[in-house]
Every structure is written in C-alpha cells, then in structure tokens.
Amino acid sequence: MACYGGDLILSAIKSLKYELLVSMLGLVIWVSLFRTLKKNEKVTSYLPPGPRGLPLLGYLPFVRPDLHRFYAELAHAYGPIFSLRLGTKLCVVVSSPSLAKEIFKEQDTIFANPDAPVSGLIMGHGGSDIVWTPYGPRWRLVRKICVREVMASSRLDATYRIRRREVRDMVHDLYHHHKEGTPVDITETAFVTALNVISSMIWGGRLQGEEKLRVGSEFRRVVGDIVMLLAKPNVSDFFPLLARFDLQGVARETKSKIQWLDRIIDPMIVERLKIEWGQNKSQSSTQLHDPDILQTLVHIYKEGISDSEMSLTLNQIKGLIMNLVIGGTDTVSTTIEWTMAQMMKQPEIMRRAQKEVDQVVGLHQTVEEFHLHELRYLKAVVKEVLRLYSVAPILSPRSPSQTSILGGYTIPEGAQIIVNAWAIHRDPLSWEDPLEFRPERFLTNDHISKPFLNISPINHDFRYIPFGSGRRMCVGIPLGERMILLLLATLLHSFDWQLPQGTELDMFEKFGIAMKKVVPLAVVPTPRLVDTKLYI
C-alpha cells in the first residue's frame, strides 16, 4: 500500500529549519493525541470497525491520494461504515444509501456542521461563505439570501440573455477553430464561457478578444489550484496544534490564490458601495434600476447596518462570490468534459443525443433554454455522467454537533464524517451493472419527473447524491442545470465532434474536491447547422 500520508509528513518535517522545532513537533503531536483520546475514551469501544494505525500518527501514513477508491476498498473490508484515526482526527466514512439517509435526513441538524479544512476557511474568508460556515443563524442568513436573491427563478429568467450571448460567442469561436482545423480544449472552452456568464451575472464584467484567452486561462489555473488545495491532505488539519507552522505551505499558497481573486473582486465591491451610498451619481440610477448580484448583496449589506436580523458582512459577500465563481465555473466545465469524453467513447450516445436535439430544435435555429425541458435523453446522459464521474466524489466533510448514533455505532462530537458518493453511485446493491454507462437507467418512470441533478429532494433516493442532500445540499443546482444543459445541447446541435487523428481516448481521473480527467479532452468540431449565418 502506498505510503502517501507518510511522505506527506516526512516532507513537512524536512521543511523545518531547526532541530528544536522538530523535537517540539513530537511533543505537540503527543499532547494533541492525548487530548483527543481523553475526550473520546468513553465511546471508543462503540466506534465503527476499522484498520489499526500507528501510535501518534494513526492510519495517516497509509492513506493514498485517490481517497474515493481508497475508502471504497476499506469499506469492502470493514463494511459500509468504518472509522480510522488520521493523526488526532477521528474519521468515520460511510458508503451506503441508508447511512447517507441517516446523515442527510433523519439526523440532518446534528450533521449539518462542516468539518472545514484550513484551506476551506481561507477560501471562505474565515468561514464566511455558504460552504464552510458552521450551521446556525449566520449560515441560514447566507443561504436564504443565496436562494432568494441569487438563485431565484425570476433572476435566472432575467439573466438568460447573458447565457445566450456567451453561448453564441462560444459557437462563433468554435467555428473559427473549425476553419483553422485545430483541436479544441473542451474544458477550457466551457470554463471561459461559464466564467463570462458568472462574472456578467455578478458584476457585469466579461472577457473578450485576446483577454478572453489570456485571462481566462489564468483564471482557470487559479481556480483549479484552489480546488486542488481544498482536497490536499494537510498536516495542519490532522494535527490542529501544528496549524500555526503551516508545515506544507497549504495556508500560504491558498492565501496567495485567494488574494489573486480578491484583486479582481475588491474593486467591484468598492464601486458598488459608492453606487449604494450615492457617491457615483453617473451610475447610481442605472445600477439600482437593474442591479446585478453584487449590487443586490451590497444593498442588503447597507440595509443590514440598521437591521441586525438582515446583517450581511463584507466577508460574507466575498465568500459567497467566491463560491459562485469557483462552483459555477469548475463544476460546469468538469461535467461538460466528462460528458463529451463519454460520447467520444460511445459515439452512438452522441448520435442519439444529437437526434433528440435536432427533433426538438431543428437545424435552422439555435438552441434556447425553453427547449431544454424536452431533452429527456440528454438529461439522462448528464445524470449518468454525474453518477459515474461525480464532480465531488467525496462530499464536503461533516462534523456532528453532539455525540450521536449512526448505523448502530456511537459517533463522538467533533468527529469527521465523510460520505463517499463515488462508492454509493457504484454500489451493485443499488445499481444494476453499476460500472456500465447506461443513460437509459434514468429514463424509467421512477426518474423522468425527478430534478435534473438530484433525485433525493423529491423521493429521498439516496442512491444518487452528486451534490449532497439535506440542509447543506448545493444551492447552485438551478443555475448549474441551465448552464450544463444549454452548453451541451448547443455543442451537440452546432457541431459534430471527433478526436484528433491518431489520438487515443483515456478516461483516467485524478482525485480532488472535484474529480477531473488526467489528460484534458481535445476534440475537433465540424459545423452541422444548415444556415452558416448562425455561426456569426
């Protein structure tokens, strides 16, 4: 078994410059472990089964980087709920729909707290965002604002012109790629398109011309780095008393990436504050008549100064914007890439999806959002992609607010609870031929009327939880549904796709908080619309 966790610790120790600090390291680890064991000594005998680890370090030296597969293998040996100690942290992993139901429905309030990594707290500006804020009044306020003001159907309907404009620009750019005969990095194409949609919705900005390629690529790199840092095993998370030393530099690197994004976001907030307080007379009337998301949030911030029940801080605004920018670009582009890759692997699926789009839209006009609800097969394809290639193979870790019973075992307060969605989605007890890509499984009467990305909100079917469930289920599903389907339908409707000559397709993934392909998908578009003016 690869000692990835051991290499992690050794590299961290080697980074220390003074032998005294190394000696102190052992002392700190021992104190941390003693405190944890003392706190949990009464419930140790009732914990779920699991592998024995080493003194002080627990099972950390044996952890592999592909956590979703690693935890699935341990579940095969110890059962659908098992525990292991990683440093001073007690980790409980579940990988069955029934246990997920206990967490997300039957004990949702108890398990509503996130177990935030150091990088997550930095990304959320001190845990001020919707992902890493502890469950309570502050989190409920941010979620309510997000649902009512950001993801409301009325706002999404009103911003369709933005999505339509950016998708048409994408088609125009791809048409020029066809003329040049060059392959397209489909992930970057989808990312830049989603970035322009999100930035236009939030603060009215968009990338054009050479800036679109240059800044878009850099933006994608920064967002990708942040996503990887969120999933990177960090000594500071396993031994909290060592966090001040930042032995691996994760905190420092995360701060650097977030500061890069802040340099873009902060001036926008300052400008909106001037508008809100009437200091920018030239823009005030226009902005307030048709406010973007940022202006709406700043307005709530201003009103909250005199209304404590609606108090929204600037850090909460920045944290929420960070969630929208990262989630709205990385999730969309990753899902698009896996879907197109699967269609390259099984061309008959692409042909069937194209036939459906042609029947609904025709070849003499462009895809519009009102067409999307009729694309049943394409929806089934995306659902199957999210089942096999979950954007988040392991859902954001939770931590019970009190000692509780889960699966018949005692789970102490403060333990880390991990739901392995990747394993649940591939469970042979829940899915027939789980490793086969079969969109038809979502075309049965049980699934046709269910929501696009999640089934569980309606019938509590916890076999399928690509974006979680319960109180802390992803709130961005309404926008994600529209963007993913509109992009995919347009790509399939406007072009035929094939791999560059001599290229072999691989479907290898690399683990992260978002699961991506190891080798980016490059494909060649061929126009298929009858009226070429539709590409201009």
Which residues make up each annotated binding site for heme? 474
Q: Give the span between the Cα atoms of 513 and 395, in whole angstroms.
A: 8
Q: Give the span between the Cα atoms of 394 and 115, in whole angstroms.
A: 13
Cβ count near 98 (within 10 Å): 14
Which residues are 454's β-sheet partners?
none
Q: Write the burial class of residue 180 (CB in 10 Å: 0-12 exposed, 13-18 middle, 19+ buried).
A: exposed
Report whether 134 contacts 127 (CB < 8 A). yes
Q: List the structure tokens of 296.
A: 């709406």
Least Cα distance to 97 among 447, 456, 442, 379 occurs for 456
Q: Give the span between the Cα atoms of 353 and 365, in whole angstroms.
A: 17
Q: List the structure tokens of 140.
A: 């409920």
Which residues make up each annotated binding site? 474
What's the farthest any 2 CA atoms get from each other in the chain? 74
Q: List the structure tokens of 360.
A: 């609904």
Report whether 333 contacts 187 (CB < 8 A). yes
State how far Cα 239 lies from the chain centre. Answer: 26
Phi (first) and psi of residue 200, to 5 degrees: -65, -40
Phi (first) and psi of residue 516, to 5 degrees: -115, 165
Which single residue is written with the structure tokens 């809100």? 276
Q: Give the span between the Cα atoms of 111 and 105, in whole angstroms.
A: 10
Report whether 483 contacts 170 (CB < 8 A). no
Q: Give the span between the Cα atoms of 163 and 236, in whole angstroms.
A: 41
